[in-house]
Structure 1
Amino acid sequence: MTLNNHFAYTFEERPTPKLWLCKPDGTRIERIADFSKLGGTFKFTNVNTLHFDLPLQVFSEDTKQIERNKVVDLVKNKYLIDYRYNGYRDIFVIDDIKKSANDSDFITLNLDSRASELNKKAANEIELLGSTIPQMMNKILSIYAPLWKLGHVDGKII
């Protein structure tokens, strides 16, 4: 679509989101390519949410036939979705899987950001006097978020 010589934009050039289904430990299982009705809320001060539909059947380029979507069989509650779009990355936890109400050929996945595991956790009952920052963070995470661990701490704040 060309409006004039100075502005040319085709909608096919827009970046598309990329989704991967992952196990709870972060291991990638399968890329999710056939999704529709992708939507969600992305706010700086709030926990992000995401939802999309997965078709039960997809067209296979290899066999030239309609086949069952293998991702639908792999999706489970508490599995992770690795979401990437235009340089932004977030990891979501599958919170709810719904079959469509009108019995059509898709399921709806509702996801919450993995940061929701730390949302509204008060860490005010721990005494950490004389500890380093990595020791403090490891202690807090071991109590309030046992599945999380501290990665790298920048030397500027130590």
Structure 2
Amino acid sequence: MKIWPGIIAAALLAGCQNPQQDTLVDRGAYQLETLHQAQGADRRIRFLVMHYTAEDFHSSLKTLTDEHVSAHYLLPAHPQREHGKPTVYRLVPEAMRAWHAGASAWRGRSNLNDTSIGIEIVNKGFTRSMLFTHWQPYTAEQIAVLIPL
């Protein structure tokens, strides 16, 4: 009959567990509780707007961190690797509006900066000759990192 005290102790200890522990996200200086979700909200993000920069990485970074134009993300042609993973530059948090789409409209919506995520991909774009236009391809590294982004 010594089994009953063990079962009772296990049942009492199970009641001491914090069921919200799985809803806490460690954000370094604080914990973010995610259990309670508001009903009064809708999706802000409806579009992804992707541009080529027409400049090299350093010029693109300078332009996109200045006060006149911005984007949420910048993808270098050959991303540096940290801990075996390619580095993508987040210039504006997704919760904020970046200035990447200008005076824009798409499928009945205007001012796409309000409802989109801007991704700038370092790429020269195109060159023209008398006979044709040549588009520079995106690198395999850019495509590989763009897919999960």
TM bracket (short chain): under 0.3
Computing the radius of gyration from Cα coordinates, the structure with the larger value is 2
**TM-score, normalising length: structure 2:** 0.20
- Higher RCO (Cα < 8 Å, 6 or more apart): 2
Higher share in strand: 1
**TM-score, normalising length: structure 1:** 0.20
Higher share in helix: 2
